[in-house]
Structure 1
Amino acid sequence: MLVAEILKDKGGAVFSIAPQNTVAQACAELESRRVGALIVCDEERVVGVLSERDVVRAIARDGEASLERPVSDYMTRDVIFAEPAETVAVLMTRMTDRRIRHLPVLKAGRLTGVVSIGDVVKCQIAEATHEAESLRTYIAAG
């Protein structure tokens, strides 16, 4: 399965935040959207990702004061992207190797969606289930 197919099923909604917004604002957005990461955008350009993990590290380092600091102080700046034509297997390897859970998807330099590790696992389970069912049908047909 390709990234484009995942986005077709789940939609291309991207929840973003500006780098100057506070970590407290980001936490409120993470909670209200029920997501694990926000894409940090300066206008149309992706400049980072702020994940729940980044927030935990910020609080561990700087305590409550981190909540009033800008997202740009704590976001992950080295953003790893996915492309619509990539396979789920490629994404799984990239996410595992880099220990990341969210990949913004770029098509021709434009942000078109986000794929999470949950999306990838869901896809892998669906493919395995389909394959098992196909094998059962084949065996039953004799």
Structure 2
Amino acid sequence: MLEPLEAMPERLKTFLTGLSDQERAVMEEVFMKNLGKYKSYEEVKAAVEAKSPELAAKLYQPTSWLDEKAAALGPEARAYYNAMEERARRYQAYFYTGKRPTDAELKQSMVEDVNGYRALSAAGKADFQKQFPVLAKFLGSDEFYKEVQAWG
């Protein structure tokens, strides 16, 4: 199995390894210590922008990159991506309310992600893999599927 940093797209890896100590401190403050204080993604983004406009510019660039990748998907792969994104937003909402999803809920979400990928047609999988090759590698991996099933 790939290590998390090795599995990341180069653009994201460069972002994470290029953060200054001050930027890491802002991220820790906003995302680790105070995330439950915010009610939405927009409030989190505003907090980061208020503390470090430079970090905000770096931080939200990968988001627009993901949006561009998603926009390039065909209808079947895009519907799958949208379902995954909806689950991710649902779990973000937990954190915005100061809660944490249970391990069972997180496992169920991962199972849905893997099963949804496996249910795509060959063309849908190829389309998704073209835009998100590392994620497709994990989602299509029998080893990853077994780990997800055994988790919790």
TM-score band, normalised by shorter chain: under 0.3
Larger radius of gyration: 1
TM-score normalised to the size of structure 2?
0.22
More strand by share: 1
TM-score normalised to the size of structure 1?
0.23
More helix by share: 2
